[in-house]
Amino acid sequence: MKMKTGLVLSGGGARGVAHLGVLKALEELGVVIDCISGTSAGALVGALYAQGLKPEAIFKLVKGISFLKSVRPAWALTGLFNMDGMRELLQKNIPVNDFSSLSIPLTIAATDIRKGKIHYFSEGELIPAIVASCSIPALFNPINFNANLYVDGGLIDNLPVKPIRNQCDFIIGSHCNHISPEVDITNVKSVVERSLLVAIYSNTEVSRGLCDVYIEPPRMDRFSSLDLSRIQEIFDFSYRHTIQNYLPHHFQKSTAA
């Protein structure tokens, strides 16, 4: 019987482009993905890959995204921007708005902000689940979907291994939020971003232990989560890290430790 391999993709904003470099390397290493789970940027990348797009095609799409085109002023007290622009972008690239249309089964994590609990979407409407998972609190308006209010899944589960662990024989985790001590804290923005990174990183510790292979390119915190100007560097760096540090046998159950 063929081993079933799952891929789990963390959130990370612009750093989520690292998943595309990892995916490109995994394909070159001959790894076939049977199941995907993702949060925030990982949900976006996972959905487009599960739709059938290749990593290079997704990167080209992301490269053409302007932050100002993908979000719009919310004119609300609950967030500075809404995600209508991103929703329209997804509608253009995901022809059938349903999880059942994907070629690879997908699970998306989002936080139910009223209940204070994580919610895992794996069926029904796809685009609202992606948008909900990407809605960073305060920056973006929460997403009202199925009578609930959702924000970024990374608040509670930034590496959603749990919902697919029992469905797969082998789990590969791709995490793009490595924290290094060599960081400059120079202004309010850097303090806020670093604080969020530290808080989110802490909820990945258990999930990391559930992975058979855990891929985390070093020093990713040198890239801002909201800066799309360095995504080529992120893509290339994560690809090189994966292709240089892993061999096909790393992704076989018999050698997993």
Start-to-end C-alpha separation, the chain: 21
C-alpha–C-alpha distance, residues 54 and 132, integer Å? 24
φ/ψ of 52, rounded to 5, equals 120, 0
C-alpha–C-alpha distance, residues 109 and 119, integer Å? 6
How many of the other CB atoms lie within 10 Å of CB of 174? 30
Catalytic residue set = 40, 152
| Sequence-separated contacts (24+) of 73-80 with Cβ below 8 Å | 74/140, 74/141, 76/141, 78/141, 78/142, 79/135, 79/137, 79/138, 79/139, 79/140, 79/141, 79/142, 80/138, 80/139, 80/140
